[in-house]
Amino acid sequence: MSCNDIETELAKPTIKQGDGILDKTDWQGSQGASWADNWRRTDRSFGILTDRLLTRLRSLEFREVLDIGCGAGELSLAVARNRPAVQVCGLDISPHLVEAAQARGERFGNVTFVCHDASTWRPEDAFAPDQLISRHGVMFFGDPTAAFANLAAVAAPSAKLLFSCFRAPSLNPFMTEVARLLPQPAQSDPRAPGPFAFADASYVEQILSAAGWTDITFAPVEFPMIVGTGEDPVADARDYFCTIGPAARALGELDQDERQTFLTKLDALSERNCREGIVSLPAAAWLVSAQRS
């Protein structure tokens, strides 16, 4: 199915989570385009977490890899680069991000990128991944149990799953400290599709078990989200948060005075978290592993 073929499905209403959180229609539209234009920033922000995932993968043997919610392709390309004999497929719902990933991966013959919803995707050939991976790409499923069941159905027997997801909001100042600067931070269902949908490990375990996955483990990791560098790291951080950060979409709903107040507070937050020319805020995630039953 092409990117254009899924526009009707993507237009269906979905549950939105507050504080400028994106749903799948946002990823398919202008916000996905913004993230695609800023893939260097997202690579930088998630770089340490990417290394953690790659470290876990080094001890595993596999032939075909599916990267769920691959974004602009950093994790897919890292696996393809390190394992030239392995076939990698990156899957994402955003046509803009898939296009960015394809452009980055032109020189790799063992990686492809597909625009489709992972909850309904079926490979068109004999591709049957024996390793499924995701860096923060699985928390936006409208029906996570059905989505993981579909992924189990397309996976090879005894396939392994490894993904990262945010832990509790209180452990992620990268998200919460910025959201608190908004005039009226939105309230939402904590399990609605969004970055904290998988914060509760017991809830995630229930989803995976019901979807046909076993041997489920959770490893906590902490890492800094780098949001500003260069000659003026505070200005760089401001641009990051106004473009792809956790409050980017909510900014469009503020009037001029509210926006200026927010930016003043945001700069102060960045200055407090600037060390040696780098603005970063703490983040905490789960590394979740499982096996197809």
Q: Pick the more confident residue, 265 or 190.
A: 265
Averaged pLDDT for residues 103-112: 97
Whether residue 1 is predicted with pLDDT greater than 80 in this model: the reply is no
Whether residue 133 is predicted with pLDDT greater than 50 in this model: the reply is yes
User: pLDDT tens digits for 193-236?
Assistant: 889 999 999 999 999 999 999 999 999 999 999 999 999 999 99
Per-residue pLDDT, 8: 29
Q: For residue 233, is it within any domain?
A: no
User: Looking at 9-13, 180-184, 203-207, which range is the least confident one?
Assistant: 9-13
Per-residue pLDDT, 16: 34
Per-residue pLDDT, 26: 65
Whether residue 122 is predicted with pLDDT greater than 70 in this model: the reply is yes
Per-residue pLDDT, 104: 97
Q: For residue 47, is it within any domain?
A: yes
Q: For residue 254, is it within any domain?
A: no
Q: For residue 190, is it within any domain?
A: yes
Whether residue 178 is predicted with pLDDT greater than 60 in this model: the reply is yes
Whether residue 4 is predicted with pLDDT greater than 70 in this model: the reply is no
The residue written with tokens 């970055």 in the block is: 195
- On whether the CB atoms of residues 226 and 47 are closer than 8 A, the answer is yes
Q: For residue 247, is it within any domain?
A: no
Per-residue pLDDT, 24: 63
Residue 114: which domain range? 4-172+183-224+284-292
State the average pLDDT for the chain: 89
Whether residue 12 is predicted with pLDDT greater than 60 in this model: the reply is no
- On whether the CB atoms of residues 181 and 272 are closer than 8 A, the answer is no
Q: For residue 197, is it within any domain?
A: yes
Per-residue pLDDT, 153: 97
Whether residue 63 is predicted with pLDDT greater than 90 in this model: the reply is yes
Per-residue pLDDT, 19: 39
Averaged pLDDT for residues 157-176: 96
Q: For residue 38, is it within any domain?
A: yes
Per-residue pLDDT, 29: 60
| Percent of the residues in the chain that have a pLDDT greater than 70, as a whole number | 88
Q: Which residues pair with 220 in a beta bridge?
A: 286
| Percent of the residues in the chain that have a pLDDT greater than 90, as a whole number | 78
Longest Cα separation, the chain: 57
What is the number of domains present in the chain? 1
User: Looking at 97-111, 131-145, 229-243, 249-263, which range is the least confident one?
Assistant: 249-263
Residue 186, CA distances (Å) to 18, 61, 78, 231 in order: 5, 44, 36, 34
Averaged pLDDT for residues 7-14: 30
- 128: CATH: 3.40.50.150
Buried b (16+ CB within 10 A) or exposed e, 206-220: ebbeebbbeebeeee
H helix runs in the chain, sequence order = 7-10, 24-28, 30-37, 39-45, 47-58, 74-82, 95-104, 144-154, 173-179, 201-210, 233-243, 248-251, 256-272
Question: What global pTM score does this model have?
Answer: 0.89
User: pLDDT tens digits for 18-49?
Assistant: 334 555 666 666 677 888 999 999 999 999 99
Averaged pLDDT for residues 69-76: 97
Per-residue pLDDT, 246: 77
Q: For residue 80, is it within any domain?
A: yes
Q: Pick the more confident residue, 23 or 169.
A: 169
Whether residue 14 is predicted with pLDDT greater than 50 in this model: the reply is no
